[in-house]
Amino acid sequence: MTTHAPRTAHSVTLPTSLDEAVAALTAMPAAVPVAGGTDLMAAVNKGRLRPAGLVGLGRINELRGWQYQDGHALLGAGLTHARMGRPDFAALIPALAAAARAAGPPQIRNAGTLGGNIVTAAPTGDSLPVLAALEADLVLAGPAGGREVPVSHLLAGRAMLEPGELVAFVRVPLLHAPQVFLKATGRTGPGRALASVAVVLDPARRAVRCAVGAIAPMPLRPLEAEHWIASLVDWDGERGLAPEALVAFGEYVAAACIPDQPPAAEGEEPPPLPPAVLQLRRTVSVLARRALGRALS
Amino acid sequence: MSNDAATAIPAVDAPRQEQEQEQPVRGLGASLPSADARAKAEGTFPYAADLWAEGLLWAAILRSPHAHARIRSIDTSAAAAMPGVRAVVTHADVPGDSAYGRSVADRPVFAADVVRHHGEAIAAVAADHPDTARLAAAAIIVDYELLEPVTDPEQAFSAPPLHPDGNLIRHIPLRFGDPDALGEVIVEGLYRIGRQDPAPIGAEAGLAVPRPDGGVEIYTASTDPHTDRDLAAACFGLPPEQVKVVVTGVPGAMGDREDPGFQIPLGLLALRTGAPVKLAATREESFLGHGHRHPTLLRYRHHADAEGRLVKVEAQILLDGGAYADASSDSLAAAVSFACGPYVVPHAFVEGWVVRTNNPPAGHVRGEGAMQVCAAYEGQMDKLAAKLGLDPAELRMRNVLATGDLLPTGQTVTCPAPVAELLQAVREYPLPPLPVDASEEDWLLPGGPEGAGEPGAVRRGVGYALGMVHMLGAEGRDEVSTATVKVQDGVATVLCAAVETGQGFSTLARQVVQEVLGVEDVQVAPVDTDQPPAGPAAHGRHTWVSGGAVERAAKMVRTQLLQPLAHKFGMSTELLQITDGKITSYDGVLSTTVAEALEGKELWATAQCRPHPTEPLDEAGQGDAFVGLAFCAIRAVVDVDVELGSVRVVELAVAQDVGRVLNPAQLLTRIEAGVTQGLGAALTENLRTPRGLVRHPDLTGYALPTALDTPDIRVVKLVEERDVVAPFGAKAASAVPVVTSPAAIASAVRAATGRPVNRLPIRPQSAVVHPTP
């Protein structure tokens, strides 16, 4: 036996369908749903979490795949990072696949799930900026039936999971256009993002959508930079842009996400950012420039 | 390229190939596999965390959440009243000495009135379930009065004393040569080295079992069992004979393991409850509990003549010792003595201090002191080369140390010092090809396979570093080891209290006995303190002193074995030789097998090995303080994404002074492990402690190198110049690559970016090249 494994989870339920899972959670509201457990069990081992009961979601097959629904993909919350990283998935939603492949070492990717990444809502969660850029919606299942909530509302705290509710699916638009996810870790091996950027092209709406992860509690969307760069792109011809435009986009995104400090008094120069923050801003700028460059090339 | 990196096959180099042609299968020079390798690979090897005893209790330690605080009161009543709790102990329950320490007894077993660092032990609990023990520990109410922590070592000099012993743990003002000497060229630099943690892969664990005679047995992964026993016995108020430390499987040791701070609470609880008590640390506790590498601030001024020959080195070295002295004094001695590196320096003035702060205590970590100064003096050599317009390798070549030269401590280098040969070997080794023709998928870019790297932003750099360490304890320490070799029924047994930490001592002991006695089957007995002391597993000691003791004992047994035969044939034992299990005389007349000669006999002998004495450094930092020295040259090749500042080490070419290769396979693994530990210190490993509080004490926050971070490690040359005073002529191999590789990587990043890179680990902002407007 290990010395710190909990024996506090007195009740473990292993439902095989979504309805059973909702029923189990409703029956025991203090129970915690667990899928891959890569975040949850680490918290349990550290003694930060002592769940009264666990509802294991690993046997619910309907959550482990995806289906198509009027131009969208309905992704099961139990999709593992390893599954999302495979080429067939990458052909559908390339940025999400790239984020999944970058999400950690193989052991983590084999266990960790899309739904878990969303619910944990760690600032460094790799799938989150991609979902924010895709403007994905969550399909929640609960005792009162299903409802839909934009991912960003949950991450921003505008919407909360009600007792007994589960993230069942993630609805993602299929855009049939290049998407890029880039992350800087400061090392060669797998690591947490220092900053990450997702860039998604939406040719039907003639839009570029961008989200920056890991630098704030939730992904940030530089909306003005998106609109400006979308107006420069020749959507009907070669979509390429001049290198100067890419550089300007990178700087626009970085300055929007990591703004200057307000000046001490009216009319004065703003105080300089600390070196570490400036470095982070440079990193975001480079990532955004490279991501857009790759998406348009 | 990515294939190479992913599979990380060590380079097969010239010296290794030669050995493969006529490699022996037993004895010295054979690549004998470790006896426990298979069990470790299969997961069946028992470590301390696997120990079990009937009816055991579980311990938990309450640790301070503050870096500096006065304790107004400790209330254990709620914890003691919890069902299942069998004992709660605090400072008031320590029957013997209330403090301990390797050099000075300055560290309380449990904090009594003051806590001086985050994670300091305050109380311990034994209960019938690990969760109960943890909850009970959390239920102890400690009333703290928070004090301002002193976390900047530069403030320690003027801060009020944090301890009755004061804040200055040791000061060495080394003075060598003429203080007025001046060079034509002068370069200055300020360097900062971070806090590397040994981060052993197995966290601390142990089991204490009370004995009927009132004593206690402690089963744990100690690396210095006799010292630990003596310190623990003094705190228990017991004579050392009543305390026994039994060494169990060691799950990785890069410094001291399971120090007394872990063993004493465990033993106390067993003595108090009369039941076996087990304590297994979590990863977080492990980071809080053991010693780290000294964070160091170094200020250097190098003087050289116009040809680049060093004239004078001035340096100020400040080591942050943390809250307690531990082995800090040794680290400072190494830092000051090797402050100029393996270079000839006619005049040297080095001020070294190690001070007390409210940071977590620093301890013994492989290459301590030497690693920090290597990063700094090699940074200076790069600066000097740039200023003189010389090739950095050429500048180093003009200054290398050789046998017969003086160290700045006034000690003459008497051992082999093939520094020039080492540097030449890494200089000549072909550079890895540029991946210009490889497809982008095959090019492992900085940032990794799924990273953001872009070939257009990548610059390659090549850097060099020369490092040195001392072997064995320094400054007059009595470095003795005792071993017994016993032969019975054709099986030889080695009894020696040298701990097998994974460094390969037990394999070496088997090889030595095979070599001397010709006996194939050699067992190495488990280690406990009932055996005579062999000292700590540190500073490459055991190959030297314990290996030497095993060799002597085996030779004594050999004489006993051969004496009757020699007598029978009227010749001296020197004329008989043992090869391949056969005893033959010089003229071939006599030939018998070892097995036959051993028939029905039980032979044994005990011997000691004690190297020549050393002396402490005097008030000017002078003295013959070291028994032996080992050297290493490393050439690093790095790729830097200069926009993001991400660094990938492409290749590390190592040439090392090893004296003699005793086990080629094991030697290569030691060098690879050392180089990789240095890589961690260079790029990612830094235990951050803002305001004295350890941040991210886990392996997600503390980034150890993975297979993807680790480059091709090419051991291009092993210089085998035997050290005549060392047993077998061999030198310790583990520490010197740790010392050298961070400096080589920093040098290569400097070459790639043109940035000063004066801080380890190298942060992305130090490796970014800003576009010139």
Closest CA to B61 of B163, B253, B168, B206: B206
- Residue A186: its chain B contacts at CB < 8 A? 645-646, 684, 763-764
Please check the confidence at residue B304 and state whether its pLDDT lies above 70. Answer: yes
Q: What mean pLDDT do residues B90-111 have?
A: 92
Of A8, A189, A283, which is closest to B705 when you measure between CB atoms?
Answer: A189
Q: What mean pLDDT do residues A50-75 have?
A: 92
Single-letter amino acid, residue B718: L
Q: Who has greater pLDDT, B96 or B252? A: B96
How many CB pairs (< 8 A) connect A and B? 95
Task: Give the confidence band of B414 by pLDDT, cuts at 50, 70, 90.
Answer: very high
3-state secondary structure B98-131: CEECCCCCCEECCCCCEECCCCCEEEEEEECCHH
Please check the confidence at residue B2 and state whether its pLDDT lies above 50. Answer: no
What does the pLDDT read at residue B454? 87
Please check the confidence at residue A5 and state whether its pLDDT lies above 80. Answer: no
Nearest-by-CA chain A residue for B697: A46
A258, A261, A269 from A264: Cα distances, Å:
18, 9, 8
- Residue B65: its chain A contacts at CB < 8 A? none
- Residue A286: its chain B contacts at CB < 8 A? 452, 457, 643-644
Buried b (16+ CB within 10 A) or exposed e, A130-161: bbbbbbbbbbbbbeeeeeebbbbebbeeebee
Tell me if B49-147+205-280 shares its fold with B480-609: no
Please check the confidence at residue A2 and state whether its pLDDT lies above 90. Answer: no
- Residue A290: its chain B contacts at CB < 8 A? 452, 454
Q: CB of B707 within 8 Å of any CB in chain A?
A: yes
CB contact under 8 A, A105 and B706: yes
- Residue A7: its chain B contacts at CB < 8 A? 131
Per-window interface: A 20-49 vs B, CB < 8 A: 42, 45-47
What does the pLDDT read at residue B448? 84
What does the pLDDT read at residue B152? 95
Nearest-by-CA chain B residue for A43: B698
Closest CA to B90 of B73, B112, B72: B112
Measured CA to CA, the distance from residue A215 to residue A193 in angstroms comes to 9
Of A3, A194, A290, which is closest to B454 when you measure between CB atoms?
Answer: A290
CB contact under 8 A, B646 and A45: no
Show me where the domains of chain A are located.
Answer: 11-56, 64-297
What does the pLDDT read at residue B77? 94
Q: CB of B643 within 8 Å of any CB in chain A?
A: yes
Q: CB-side exposure of A248: number of CA atoms within 13 Å?
A: 12
Please check the confidence at residue B1 and state whether its pLDDT lies above 50. Answer: no
Backbone angles phi, psi at B725, to 5 degrees: -85, -15
Q: What mean pLDDT do residues A161-189 have?
A: 92
CB contact under 8 A, B452 and A47: no
Q: What's the mean per-residue pLDDT of chain B?
A: 90
CA B454 to chain A, closest CA, distance in angstroms equals 8
Question: What ipTM was predicted for this assembly?
Answer: 0.89
Choose the CATH number for B480-609 among 3.40.50.150, 3.30.559.10, 3.30.365.10, 3.40.718.10.
Answer: 3.30.365.10
Please check the confidence at residue B43 and state whether its pLDDT lies above 90. Answer: no
User: What's the distance, CA A257 to chain centroid?
Assistant: 17
CB contact under 8 A, A185 and B765: no
List strand residue ranges (DSSP E) for B90-239, in order: 99-100, 107-108, 114-115, 121-127, 141-146, 168-176, 185-193, 205-210, 216-220
- Residue A102: its chain B contacts at CB < 8 A? 450-451
Give the β-pairing of A53-56 and A11-13: parallel
CA B278 to chain A, closest CA, distance in angstroms equals 10
Please check the confidence at residue B74 and state whether its pLDDT lies above 90. Answer: yes
Closest CA to B319 of B348, B256, B268, B362: B362
CATH of domain B292-474+616-766: 3.30.365.10
Of B282, B452, B703, which is closest to A187 when you measure between CB atoms?
Answer: B703
Please check the confidence at residue B108 and state whether its pLDDT lies above 80. Answer: yes
Nearest-by-CA chain B residue for A190: B448
* Class of the CATH domain delimited by B49-147+205-280: alpha beta
Helix or strand (DSSP H, E) at B294: none
Percent of chain B at pLDDT above 70?
96
Nearest-by-CA chain A residue for B702: A191
Nearest-by-CA chain B residue for A197: B452
CA A62 to chain B, closest CA, distance in angstroms equals 29
What does the pLDDT read at residue B438? 67
Q: CB of A182 within 8 Å of any CB in chain B?
A: yes
| B140: three-class secondary structure by DSSP | coil
B97, B222, B326 from B260: Cα distances, Å:
13, 9, 11
- Residue B451: its chain A contacts at CB < 8 A? 102, 182-185, 188
Q: CB of A98 within 8 Å of any CB in chain B?
A: yes
CA B643 to chain A, closest CA, distance in angstroms equals 7
Among A3-17, A25-39, B339-353, B528-542, the least confident range: A3-17
- Residue A182: its chain B contacts at CB < 8 A? 451-452
The token duo for B451 is: 């990273």
What's the CA angle centered on B300, arms B295 and B303, to 5 degrees?
A: 160
Report pLDDT digits (tens) over A108-166. 999 999 999 999 999 999 999 999 999 999 999 999 888 999 999 999 989 888 888 99
What does the pLDDT read at residue B772? 57
- Residue A6: its chain B contacts at CB < 8 A? 131
Q: CB-side exposure of B384: number of CA atoms within 13 Å?
A: 31
Task: Give the confidence band of A4 by pLDDT, cuts at 50, 70, 90.
Answer: very low
Stated pTM of the model: 0.92
Task: Give the confidence band of B22 by pLDDT, cuts at 50, 70, 90.
Answer: low
Of B131, B698, B709, which is closest to A189 when you measure between CB atoms?
Answer: B709
CB contact under 8 A, B131 and A98: no
Task: Give the confidence band of B440 by pLDDT, cuts at 50, 70, 90.
Answer: low
Helix or strand (DSSP H, E) at B370: helix B370-388
Q: Which residues pair with B209 in a beta bridge?
A: B217
Of A187, A192, A279, which is closest to B768 when you measure between CB atoms?
Answer: A279
Report pLDDT digits (tens) over B614-654. 999 999 999 999 999 999 999 999 999 999 999 999 999 99
Q: Who has greater pLDDT, B521 or A216? A: A216
Report pLDDT digits (tens) over B464-485. 999 999 998 888 888 889 999 9
CB contact under 8 A, B703 and A276: no
Residues B248/B46, Cβ–Cβ less than 8 Å? yes
What does the pLDDT read at residue A84? 96
Q: CB-side exposure of A204: number of CA atoms within 13 Å?
A: 6
CB contact under 8 A, B450 and A102: yes
Q: What's the mean per-residue pLDDT of chain A?
A: 91
Report pLDDT digits (tens) over B251-298. 888 777 878 888 999 999 999 999 999 999 888 889 998 899 999 999
CATH of domain A11-56: 3.30.43
The token duo for B113 is: 């009135």
What does the pLDDT read at residue B584? 81
Nearest-by-CA chain A residue for B450: A102
Task: Give the confidence band of B226 by pLDDT, cuts at 50, 70, 90.
Answer: very high
CA B453 to chain A, closest CA, distance in angstroms equals 8
Test mutation, A84, A185, A188, A244, chain B, max B CBs within 10 A: A188
Of A98, A183, A279, which is closest to B764 when you measure between CB atoms?
Answer: A279
CA B357 to chain A, closest CA, distance in angstroms equals 26
Report pLDDT digits (tens) over B719-738. 999 988 888 889 989 899 99
Show me where the domains of chain B are located.
Answer: 49-147+205-280, 292-474+616-766, 480-609
What's the CA angle centered on A56, arms A55 and A60, to 5 degrees?
A: 115
CB contact under 8 A, B648 and A188: yes
Q: Radius of gyration of chain A from Cα atoms? A: 20
Please check the confidence at residue B13 and state whether its pLDDT lies above 80. Answer: no
CB contact under 8 A, B708 and A45: no
Task: Give the confidence band of A6 by pLDDT, cuts at 50, 70, 90.
Answer: very low
B614 contact partners, CB below 8 Å, separation of at least 6: B474, B475, B476, B477, B623, B624, B625, B626, B627
Tell me if A11-56 shares its fold with A64-297: no
CB contact under 8 A, A186 and B706: no
Choose the CATH number for A64-297 among 3.40.50.300, 3.30.470.20, 3.30.465.10, 3.90.1410.10.
Answer: 3.30.465.10
- Residue A42: its chain B contacts at CB < 8 A? 698, 700
Nearest-by-CA chain A residue for B2: A188
Q: What mean pLDDT do residues B173-198 have?
A: 94
